[in-house]
Amino acid sequence: MDLLRFALRKLLAGLPLILGVTLLSFTLMVYFGPDKTYQLLGKNPTPEQIAEIRHELGYDRPFVTRYVEYLRQLVTLDFGNSDSTGEEVNAVLARTIPVSLALELPGFILGNLLAIGLALTAGYFRGGWPDKLIMGLAVIGMSISFLIVIFAFQIWFCTSYGLDWFPVRGWKAENLAEYLRHIAVPTLATMFVALGYSTRFYRAVIVEELNRDHVRTARAYGTPPARLFYRNILKNCAIPIITRIMFTIPSIVIGGALLIETTFGIPGVGKVAYEAIVSGDQPVLKAVVGLTALLFVVTLLITDILYRAVDPRVSIR
């Protein structure tokens, strides 16, 4: 019951944030965004035709009316039909979001696990050569552009100039083998790029914990490393680690997939959102940005609840 009240209060506190994001995105993308009138009209339109199309797209109504209409759509989760294809926006999202998730999740999970593993290794051998090697590689990884990684991996793994093992573009997920074949290179690229930043972050958190008295005591009592790392270190580092992981979630659902999806020709939500911006497809844009804001607030809420679960000192009141 307490938890429910806490959740509701947090969601209510998230309202100004949602209003802010929707207002900003509405002003930028819808009010100042591309004008679709003339793309939809034939040659030599009459003024009446122009007025009719503008009315259909809602361009002739005042700013406030259009914004309130947007909020109504967001609350009812009914965003109408895409301006470009006429397809229902919810159908577009239902088609593309699972693709993005299937594409991003394996790399996200494996990347974070690997980063934590490397960070633990570096922390354990602090100052020694494994630490220096891992941290040195992390800085190199941080210094290579995501775009370069993508192209290098594409050339290396997917063309006859390299190994030619995987398809360069496209998306098929009918069976497991096809699915794995298509996500292999994008996943490697995502992991490679995230690994440098994540490992450094996790190492900093772990090293701070390693310096604490209780860890020294546990060590002095001869706690085996595996147990020491799990019970005395990882559990105490849970809050910063959870925060980092949780806050990447909204961006991997929408933003992070954009570049991968564009370069690998994968029909996910990031690509759809990007195309909507470029073409001025307002119904799709409104849905994507509005839902991202909602997702962000929900993530904040879940993070707060998780804090409570891992750290009894955090109160939900």
Partner 1 sequence: MNAVIADALADPTPRSLWSAAVRKLARDRAGLIGLAVVLAYLVAALGVWLGLWATEWAEITGSKWAPVSAEHWFGTNIIGQDIFQRGIYSTATAFEVGLVVAVLAAALGGVLGALAGFFVGSWIDELILWAMGVLDAMPFYLLVAAVAFALADNPWSMHVAMIATFWTTTSRLVRGEVIKLRGMEFVEAARAIGVPPTVTIFRHILPNTTHILLVQMTLAFVDAIKAEVILSFLGLGVKGGMSWGLMISESTLEFLGGHFNNLIAASCLMFGLVYAFNMFADALQDALDPKQVSA
Judged by CB under 8 A, which of 94, 148, 163, 314 binds partner 1?
148
* Rounded least distance, CB 240 to partner 1, Å: 15
* Residue number with CB closer to partner 1 (143 or 175): 143
The answer to whether the beta carbons of residues 111 and 198 sit under 8 Å apart is: yes
Check binding of 205 to partner 1 (CB under 8 A): no
Which one among 210, 293, 301, 307 touches partner 1, defined by CB under 8 A?
293
Dihedrals phi, psi of 145, to nearest 5 degrees: -70, 145
Q: Residue 202, interface with partner 1 (CB under 8 A)?
A: no
Distances (CA, A) of 82 to 21, 74, 246: 21, 15, 31
Per CB under 8 A, the list member of 93, 259, 272, 287 interacting with partner 1 is 259
Q: How far is CA 290 from CA 1, 19, 78, 285, in A?
A: 29, 9, 12, 8
Closest separation in Å from C-beta 254 to partner 1: 5
CA–CA distance, 199 with 196 (Å, rounded to integer):
5
Contacts with partner 1 by CB under 8 A: the residue count is 44
- Under the binding rule (CB under 8 A), the answer on residue 151 touching partner 1 is yes
The answer to the question of residue 273 lying near partner 1 (CB under 8 A) is: yes
Tell whether residue 197 is a contact of partner 1 (CB under 8 A): no
234 touches partner 1 by CB under 8 A: no
DSSP for 135-187, written as a single string: HHHHHHHHHS-HHHHHHHHHHHHHSTTTT--S-SS----SSHHHHHHHHHHHH
Site for partner 1 in 9-38 (CB under 8 A): 16-17, 20-21, 24-25, 27-29, 32-34
DSSP 128-144: SHHHHHHHHHHHHHHHS
Q: Could you say whether residue 146 binds partner 1 (CB under 8 A)?
A: yes
Closest to partner 1 by CB, 20 vs 170, is 20
**96, 187, 282, 292: residue in contact with partner 1 (rule CB under 8 A):** 292
Residue 66 or 218 having the CB closest to partner 1? 66
For residues 60 and 198, give the distance between their C-alpha atoms in angstroms, rounded to a whole number: 48
In terms of DSSP H, where are the helices of the chain? 2-13, 15-25, 37-40, 47-57, 63-76, 89-124, 129-143, 146-158, 176-210, 213-220, 225-227, 238-253, 257-264, 269-279, 282-310
189 binds partner 1 (CB under 8 A): no
> Binding to partner 1 by residue 113, rule CB under 8 A?
no
- Take residue 252 and report the two structure tokens written for it: 């991997």
| Nearer of residues 175 and 211 to partner 1, judged by Cβ | 211
Residue 140 pairs in a beta bridge with none
Phi, psi at 68, each rounded to 5°: -65, -40
List of residues contacting partner 1 (CB under 8 A): 16-17, 20-21, 24-25, 27-29, 32-34, 139-140, 142-148, 151-152, 155, 159, 161, 250-251, 254-255, 258-259, 262, 273-274, 277-278, 280, 288-289, 292-293, 296-297
